[in-house]
Amino acid sequence: MVVETLYSGISRGTESLVFNDAIPESEYQRMRCPFQEGEFPWPVKYGYANVGRVLEGPAELRNRAVFSLFPHQTCFRIPSSAVTPLPERLPPERAVLAANMETAVNALWDAAPRLGDRIAVIGCGVVGSLVAWLASRVPGTRVLAVDPNTKRESVLRGLGVRCQPQPDARDDYDLVIHASGHPDGLQTALEMAGVEGRIVEMSWFGDQAVSLNLGGAFHSRRLSLISSQVGRVSPIQAPRWSYGDRMALALRLLQADELDHLINSECTFDQLPQRMPEITADTTDILCHRVTY
């Protein structure tokens, strides 16, 4: 089938690593995106947040808006099995968040939050913000989002989540989810977890070494450190859920209008080469950057 791109999104965490040549050689194969062209380190056609309109294909999909894990490209051929139609109430311009939402869904499956859990989310980029938003919808939970960038507070407030630049000095959290991409954030997560607490690590550090203090309370509190990565469906759900099921769920969840707060930057496809250094910089305030076609 043939799809004409309407919008694509920059997944800042992964695409920054690709753009800045920070993918370890040992991860070249595992880091391939589904429709990547070229080989790491350069040149590669990379990206996995594409929203387009079907120009040619099955009658039931023709002229439908669909999401696919295709790189930034104006028009392309793709198997019909590799696209997911958008729900009627989901604006195509918001659907660029689908890959991020899929990652957040998988993390919540791995984390398995319980009714009333005290939950902290450290790092409020797009994925961390989505995780905090999802966690806050579990009945009875107390959710705190932590990010040193004070500009994130208004974004999280728009999502109905309490956010502050520093931890609240409590160490009784049942569940701490780390998504900042910085090693210091993971150490903070260990310090916030209560007895038998669970720490879910979502960050992928590329070729960066991470040093942790696993003395102190790590063993006496019997903390659990859990890795979460979207490349595989969480083993809790895998016997019953396919990748397609997970993506369809992510798109349904994106129908909430408040999630527009996460898209705070935009450019045309022609402008993208000039904007990428700014978009991928560590110092940027950009959350989700949307590309228009």
DSSP per residue over the chain, as a string?
Answer: -EEEEEEEEE-HHHHHHHHTT---GGGTTTT--TT-EE-SSSSEE----EEEEEEES-TTTTT-EEEE---S-SEEE--GGGEEEPPTTS-TTTGGGHHHHHHHHHHHHHH---TT-EEEEE--SHHHHHHHHHHHTSTT-EEEEE-S-TTHHHHHHHTT-EEESS--S---EEEEEE-SS-HHHHHHHHHHEEEEEEEEE----TT-------STHHHHTT-EEEE--TTS--TTTTTT--HHHHHHHHHHHTT-GGGGGGEEEEEEGGGHHHHHHHHT-TT---SEEEEE-
Structure tokens that stand for 163 in this block: 């956010």
User: Which of the two residues, 272 and 23, has the higher pLDDT score?
Assistant: 272
Per-residue pLDDT at 191:
95
Question: In the predicted model, what is the mean pLDDT of the chain?
Answer: 95
Is residue 213 very low, low, confident or very high in pLDDT (cuts 50, 70, 90)?
A: confident
How many whole angstroms separate alpha carbon 4 and alpha carbon 23? 30
Same domain, 94 and 108: no
Per-residue pLDDT at 13:
82
Do the domain assignments include residue 160?
yes
Same domain, 56 and 130: no
Q: How far is CA 208 from CA 17, 41, 46, 178, in A?
A: 11, 16, 21, 16
Do the domain assignments include residue 52?
yes
Contact 178, 165 (CB under 8 A): no
Contact 194, 217 (CB under 8 A): no
Q: Is the pLDDT of residue 205 over 90?
A: no
Same domain, 191 and 266: no
Average pLDDT of span 173-202: 96
pLDDT in tens, 18-77: 999 988 899 899 889 999 999 998 899 999 999 999 999 999 999 999 999 999 999 999
Range with the lowest mean pLDDT among 123-127, 183-187, 191-195, 206-210? 206-210
The CATH number given to whatever domain includes residue 122 is 3.40.50.720
Which of 195, 227, 259 is where one domain is finished?
227
The reported pTM is: 0.93
Q: Is the pLDDT of residue 158 over 80?
A: yes
Domain count across the chain: 2
Same domain, 95 and 172: no
Domain that holds residue 113: 104-227
Per-residue pLDDT at 22:
87
Same domain, 199 and 266: no
Q: What values do phi and psi take at 24, rounded to 5? A: -65, 145
